[in-house]
Amino acid sequence: MADSMSFFSDFIARYGSLLIQGTIATLIMTFVSSALAYLLGTPLGILLMMSAPNSLKPNRTLYSVLGWIVNIGRSIPFIILMVALIPLSRLIMGTSLGVAGAITPLVIASTPFVARLIENSLQEVPSGVIEAAQSYGASTFQIIWKVLLSEALPSIARSIPITVITIFSYTAIAGVVGAGGLGDIAVRYGYHRYQTDVMVATIIIMIFLIQVIQTLGNIAVRRIDKR
């Protein structure tokens, strides 16, 4: 018992600050990228939904072009995208390394994903409700803002943890290519140095964080959804 206690305190003394820094780096990458992905993906999702055939502003060309871009974005595995985007990352963030370097590929990889999720959520809004809004003289902008987004909010909120957790797992991949964070620690210590204890610690932290994200998401959805 005393042994295990001292092992634990030794471990914390030795790796505690490393793990805390890693956790912070991972959380920053995850949440900054998620926020930017929603900032870019939401308008894209709205455009997709609005321009679809039989939608409010059907536009074949726009819909196909956006669809193509989104599909291309989604079909490239993240690790490849990450490497391919190194020059772009240097251009935008000034570096392809560290947390800052990881943001660009993370955002570019997850924006198409978010766009599709938003599009799906908006499509779930019953057409009768949209028609009711039209029948009261709502403009297209008012329909998007006051009806589509507002009615789709529970569904959008439900998809946010999915996005955040996906990006979270991307950060681990990014870690391997020099982004830092928990993924980087797990690979450096667990894989290259055979320090299983450090790897196990990172896994425990990751599991804990994912649980927290999903639980917070569920609570938020329960409060938002009035249906």
Partner 1 sequence: MIELIDITKTFDAANTSHDALIDVTLTIEDGDIFGIIGISGAGKSTLARCINLLERPSAGTIRIDDVDITNFTGRDLLDLRSSIGMIFQDFSLFSQRTVLQNVMFPLEIRGDSRQHCRARAYELLEVVGLVEKANSYPSQLSGGQQQRVSIARALANDPKIILCDEATSALDTLTTNSILDLLRQINRDLGVTIVVITHSMSVVRKICNKVAVLDQGRVIELGTTEEIFDDPQNAVTSELIGEVIIRG
Which residues contact partner 1 by CB under 8 A? 126, 128-129, 131-139, 142, 146-147, 150-151, 153-154, 226-227
Minimum distance from residue 215 beta carbon to partner 1 (Å) = 23
Q: Which of 196, 217, 206 is nearest to 169 (CA)?
A: 206
d(Cα 68, Cα 51) in Å, to the nearest integer? Answer: 14
Minimum distance from residue 134 beta carbon to partner 1 (Å) = 6
Minimum distance from residue 65 beta carbon to partner 1 (Å) = 23
Please say which residue, 52 or 199, places its beta carbon nearer to partner 1: 52
Please say which residue, 18 or 138, places its beta carbon nearer to partner 1: 138
Token duo for residue 217: 């998401």
Please say which residue, 33 or 155, places its beta carbon nearer to partner 1: 155
Q: Are 41 and 114 in contact (CB under 8 A)?
A: yes
Token duo for residue 100: 């800052």
Q: Which amino acid is at 105?
A: P
**Angular region, 137: left φ>0, alpha ψ -120 to 50, beta rest:** left
Minimum distance from residue 154 beta carbon to partner 1 (Å) = 7
Token duo for residue 76: 């490239």
Please say which residue, 93 or 149, places its beta carbon nearer to partner 1: 149
